Amino acid sequence: CLLLQSCRLHSKRLPLSRLPVIYGHRLASTDSGSSGGNAAPNRLNNASAKSLFLCGQEFESDDYTNLTDRIIEQVNCGLHRQRGHPLWLLTNRIVGHFNANYTRSRSRPLFTVVDNLSPIVTPEQNFDSLLIPADHPSRRPSDVYYLNRGRLLRGHTSAHQCDLLRQGLDAFLVVGDVYRRDEIDRSHFPVFHQMEGVRIYSQEQLFAGAKDSADSLRMFDRSRNRTDEQQAGHSVETSKLLEHELKSCLEGLARRLFGSSIAYRWVPAYFPFTHPSWELEVRHSQSDGGEADWMEMLGCGIVEQRLLDGCGLPNRTGWAFGLGLERWAMQLFSVPDIRLFWSKDPAFLAQFAQPCQPGADLWQPVQYKPISVYPPCPMDLSFWLPAADASFHSNDFYDLVRSIAGDLVEQVSLIDEFRHPKDGRMSLCYRIVYRSHERTLTSEEARTVHDQIAKSAVTRWAVQIR
């Protein structure tokens, strides 16, 4: 249902009885802006520098606004909805797995799939509803793309979790583009795609399989204190059963996608909105034949009861998980660079076309084969920050590089830093690796872009180029 049809909803919140139906489930609309196709192109209002137009709405800028033209161009591209794209293929494989293994009566899919919610959300949706502390680093403008103080581009699909729970959904998958100001390398991009999965239970649903003792089992035990293994107020049976259901679900998904012999392990983790929490790590072989590495593939946990209480569900418990589609696709299809997912090169997309054809086998093996390998062009940029350097953040520099170099930049890394012993100024040296996936990039071309970045850094932060 994610991609066989693209359902466009208006920003007005509709009652469940009027929501469109896909695969027998009603698709909820919880966006803070307009979702679906844009009425007009996304753009900055450069004439006044006081507003921007995004997803069909105009937003006033303020001191928190930090979107760049480059990011605005990529908002709501919906790669996961584009048939023939590797993210489309992966999304439909995951949805197919859930539909085949989790059903309601009359073989109806248990999980509602929501794939077209607007990426524009409020701080309350992105942070407060998920119990993220007010001083958490993820709220800072150095980490998040803000339209203004009251609106931002979601940093995770979990931003819609509470809205969907309040609308009455008890099992759902949310798929969408998310945005984070981050480092630059082959596995990080400021726009990527996530899938959020949530399932909540009533007491009858949770203990449905325990036929002989279901009447004596209780979901809550108010005498239980919070420990590393369970939440306060949850009975031991609830904690153990929820953990079993969650891990069994995700282990089954990993085996279906990567093969029954895949090696995996669970690692304790921390998230503000789940407890206990875990990360699933999968062991992948190195392409160069080296020793296999463990890689974190998703985060998950038991939904904090305070979150459910805030959604008006004090008598329910459940679990949630979140995974990055690009990370799974890179491992599954052997894609070496996250930038490739944004490529419009027919030679790249054609490699994933066959399984995406109507009626084709979605599960037929696909492995990316490099079209061509073009050489990298590394260049260093060193500069002194002014004495008052507290406002500078590396993510600001990465954003500047992206806005100028676009997809020509493969990696940016801080290779040296030095504080002058006399005047206290900080010197930073960044190595910027330029490489095109479509042609050989000349040194002259890279130098032109490199010089533009240097000049922009001087203008923006008053740095002194070394």
Contact 40, 55 (CB under 8 A): no
Residue 172 contacts residue 390 (beta carbons within 8 Å) = no
What is d(CA 91, CA 81) in angstroms, rounded to the nearest whole number?
9
Backbone angles phi, psi at 317, to 5 degrees: -135, 165
Which band of pLDDT confidence, cut at 50, 70 and 90, is reported for residue 210? confident
pLDDT tens track for 380-397: 999 999 876 667 889 999
How much is the pTM?
0.84
Interval 297-347: pLDDT, tens:
999 999 999 999 999 999 999 999 999 999 999 999 999 999 999 988 888
Nearest to 322 by CA among 199, 173, 197: 197
**Cα distance between residue 321 and residue 323, in whole Å:** 7
Mean per-residue pLDDT, 357-379: 90
Tens of pLDDT along 62-115?
999 999 988 999 998 899 999 999 999 999 999 999 999 999 988 899 999 999
Helix, coil or strand: residue 153: strand
The DSSP letter of residue 311 is: T
User: Model confidence at 27, in pLDDT bands (50, 70, 90)?
Assistant: very low
- List of residues 6+ apart from 330 with CB closer than 8 A: 187, 336, 338
**299 contacts 271 by C-beta, under 8 angstroms:** yes
* pLDDT confidence band for 290 (50 / 70 / 90): low
What six digits make up the tokens of 121? 């959300």
Inter-helix orientation angle 236-258/86-101, to 10°: 130
* Residues 118-167: tens digit of each pLDDT: 999 999 999 999 999 999 999 999 999 999 999 999 999 999 999 999 99
Q: Are 148 and 65 in contact (CB under 8 A)?
A: yes
For the chain, what's the residue count?
Answer: 466
- Kindly tell me if the per-residue pLDDT of 28 is higher than 90: no
What is the spatial distance between Cα 442 and Cα 59, in angstroms, rounded to a whole number? 40
Chain-wide mean pLDDT for the chain? 87
Question: Residue 261 carries which DSSP code?
Answer: T
Q: Containing H/E element for 172? A: strand 171-179
Strand blocks (E) in 241-328? 264-271, 274-284, 293-303, 317-324
Q: Which residue has the tokens 């009626």?
A: 359
* 438 against 24, higher pLDDT: 438
Whether the pLDDT of residue 2 is over 70: the answer is no
Q: Are 430 and 412 in contact (CB under 8 A)?
A: yes
- Domains located in the chain, CATH noted: 69-207+226-356 (3.30.930.10), 377-465 (3.30.70.380)
